[in-house]
Amino acid sequence: MYAVIKTGGKQYRVQAGDLLVVEKLEGEPGAAVAFGEVLMLGEGEAVTVGAPTVDGAVVSGTLIETRKGEKVKIFKKIRRQGYRRTRGHRQLETVVRVTSVAGGGKEAKWEGSIDLTPKVILDARARGLGDAAVPFSVPAAVEATPVVKKASKASPKVEAAVVEHADPVAEAPKKKAAPKKAAAKTEEGEA
């Protein structure tokens, strides 16, 4: 069983179990989402077309994440005038897992489990970086202590000193300095 739904000014053909990327929807990851604007229902050869929507038909899903989409570059140029401008835009989008399609007395449910892992972590796993590449993770053995240095009376400057806990390591041997007498003789010989 499939349905054609309308959301964000666009139409999508969905089935139970589909992963759908739509315009931004409100809600936290794991929230239930229901699309009430079902334009068409179909199962095999039987098709129900709404006028404009099918009465009583609902497509349900679970919100997985809200993220920024691919960057679109906007480039303007006027020839022979020295005018060129480049800008970029990333549209907010929501990823939804369709869990059920219901309407016309029938219902198709998806029996799989919903994984709320965001795309950033999935991409890191695909590159072989594992879960260690999760953004904003801080190692447990590092402490940051703020240090205030006064640059002037009006505006103090705040810096962070990072202190790592590690075992002491033997110091490297010191290099011997060049003898001063040899340096003095070369200066006298040149003069």
Q: How confident is the model at residue 128 (pLDDT cuts 50, 70, 90)?
A: confident
- Is 138 or 124 the better-scoring residue by pLDDT? 124
Q: Residue 157 CB: number of other CB atoms within 10 A? A: 10
The H or E element containing residue 188 is helix 180-190
d(CA 119, CA 142): 28
For 161-189, what is each residue's pLDDT tens digit?
555 555 555 555 566 666 666 555 655 66
pTM for the whole thing?
Answer: 0.63
Q: What is the structure's pLDDT at 138?
A: 43
The H or E element containing residue 120 is helix 119-126
- Of 172, 13, 3, 19, give the one whose Cα is nearest residue 93: 19
**Radius of gyration of the chain from Cα atoms?**
32
- Mean pLDDT across 138-143: 49
Q: For Cα atoms 66, 67, 71, give the angle at the middle one, nearest 5 degrees.
A: 150
Q: Which 3 state secondary structure label does DSSP give 110?
A: coil
- Mean pLDDT across 147-173: 54
For 16-31, what is each residue's pLDDT tens digit?
999 999 999 999 999 9
For 31-90, what is each residue's pLDDT tens digit?
999 999 999 999 988 999 999 999 999 999 999 999 999 999 999 999 999 999 999 999
Contact 103, 54 (CB under 8 A): yes
